[in-house]
Chains A and B, each alone.
Chain A
Amino acid sequence: MFGDTANKLILDAKRSRALDGVPMYQEHDVRDIIRETRDLQKESDIIASQDTNAQDRVKQCQLFVTHLSMRRNKRCLLGYQRSRVEKLMEVAWNGQEMDPQQMENLSHHEQEYFKKYSNLVALYKSPFQDVDVSGSLEPPKEVFIDVRVLKDAGEILTEYGVFNLTKDSQFFVRQADVEKLIQQGYLEKL
C-alpha cells in the first residue's frame, strides 16, 4: 500500500523520542519512499496526459489520491528528518561530544549538519560570554551544591581551590563552576 513505508518511518521517529541517543538512520526506508513518490508522479503524469473529460469522476479521484499520497510521503520524510535534527540540536546545545558510535548512526549529511550547527551555536553564544547561553535551563536554587563524581575527570581549578575529581568521591562546590561537567555526565548532583 502507498504510504506504508512512510508510516514505518514516522513510528520510528515517535519511538526514538523516548530514547537518549539518535538511532540508526533508516536510509533504506527513505530510499523506498523516494522511489514510491517518483512512481506516483509518473502515474499521475500518465493520468493527466490521458484525454479525460471533466465529468470523469473516477479519473479525477485517482489523480487526487495520487497527489495526496505524494504530499503525505514528503511530509513524513520531513517530519522524520526534523525529529532527528531536533535531537542533534539538543546535543549541540549541551556542548556534548558526539561519541563515535552515535556518529555512525547518522547519515553523512547529518554529520555535516551537526558540525555546522555546533559552529553556529558557538557563534551565537560568543557575544554573551558572561551568561553562558548553553547553560542549564533549570532555575538555580543554591550557589553551592553537593556533587558525586561518576567518571574520572582530572583536576579542575576554581576560585575556591583545586579539586581532584576521582570516581566516587564527593565534593561541595559552586554550581556555576561544575555546570558543564554535570551536563557532560562527569558529575551527578546530589
Chain B
Amino acid sequence: MDIDDILKAFDQETSRPQRSQSKLYRQDYESLKKAWINERTSPELLHYEVDLMERVLKRIRQQMEFIELNSIELQSSEEKDIKLLLVIIESELDRVNFVVRSYLRTRLDKIDKFTIYIHNEEQELKKLSPEETEYMNRHLEILVELYNKQFLSKLPESLHTLDDTSGGISMIESPELSKSVFIRVLKDIEIPIVIGGEEIDMKQDEIYVLSYRLVKDLIQAEEVALI
C-alpha cells in the first residue's frame, strides 16, 4: 500500500461532496507528471503549461496553509490522528514540489542552452512563460557583456558576433530534432506515420522508439506521450 492508496481511502471517507474536486486535483497531478516527463525527454523546449502550473501552485499554497494551521493546533490539543495526516500531506507536498522544481529547472537548462536560437524564432518565444522570457533576456544580456569585456571586443572586428554562421560551422546551438525518443501511444492514430516508404499504424498502448521529429505534432496533440 503506498501513499496514493492511503490518500485515496482518505478522500473517500472524508470528502464525499468534494470528490469531483479531488478528482480534478488528481488529474492535475497526472498532467503535471506528464508535462514534466515530456519536458525532460524531448530534445526541444515545449510549451509552458500556464493554466496547469497556476492551479498546482495555488494548491501547494493551500496545502502549506493547511499544515501550518494544523501544526499550531497540534501543540495545544492531544489529537494524534491529525499527525499522521500531516505527515502524509507533507510527503505529498515534497513530491509535488520536487516535480514542479525539476520541471522549471529543466526548462531553464534548455533555455540557457538554446538562448540565441529561441531568441531568433518567433515560434519558440511563444513557448516561454513571462518569467522565463525575462530570465532569458537578462541572462543573455549579462553573458554578452561578459564575453565582450573578457575578450570578444579585443578580437578583430569580423569575429565580434555571437551568432556567426559563416565558416561552415553555425555558432547557434539548436535542438537536435532527429534524436530518438521513446513514446507510448495514448490513443489509436488515424494517419499512419511514414518512415522510408513504410507506413506504421500506431495503436493505443503501444511503445515505439522513433525520431522526435516524426512524433512532434502528436505529442503536442496529446495523442502520444514521451516516456
Contact = CB atoms under 8 A, between A and B. Distances in A.
A59 interface: no
B159 interface: yes
Contacts, number: 110
A41 B138 contact: no
Interface of B is mostly: helix
Chain B: interface size category: 35 or more
Interface in B134-183: 134-135, 138-139, 142-143, 145-147, 149-152, 154-156, 158-159, 162, 167, 169, 171
B101 A117 contact: no
Nearest to B89: A143
A67 B159 CA distance: 10
B83 to A, nearest CB: 11
A30 B150 contact: yes
B84 to A, nearest CB: 12
B150 A120 contact: no
B61 to A, nearest CB: 6
A110 B146 contact: yes
A117 B142 contact: yes
B222 to A, nearest CB: 25
A103 B188 CA distance: 58
Given A117-B142, A130-B60, A41 B151 contact: no
Interface in B87-115: 87, 90-91, 94-95, 97-98, 100-102, 104-105, 108, 112
Contacts of B91: 140, 142-143
A132 B104 CA distance: 11
B154 A109 contact: no
B79 interface: no
Contact of B167 (A67, A107, A139, A174): A67
Interface of A is mostly: helix
Interface string A34-46: 1001100100000
A77 interface: yes
A130 B67 CA distance: 13
A110 B151 CA distance: 12
Interface in B59-82: 60-61, 64, 68, 71
Interface string A109-120: 110110011001
Give the 10 A-B CB pairs with smallest separation, nearest first.
A41-B156, A140-B94, A109-B149, A113-B146, A116-B142, A143-B91, A124-B135, A34-B154, A74-B159, A130-B60
13 contacts: A33-B151, A38-B155, A68-B167, A89-B112, A109-B146, A117-B142, A120-B139, A130-B64, A131-B60, A131-B101, A132-B101, A135-B98, A140-B94
Given A137-B105, A174-B90, 17 more contacts: A34-B151, A68-B167, A70-B156, A77-B150, A77-B152, A78-B171, A81-B151, A110-B146, A113-B142, A113-B146, A117-B142, A120-B135, A131-B97, A140-B91, A140-B98, A143-B90, A143-B91
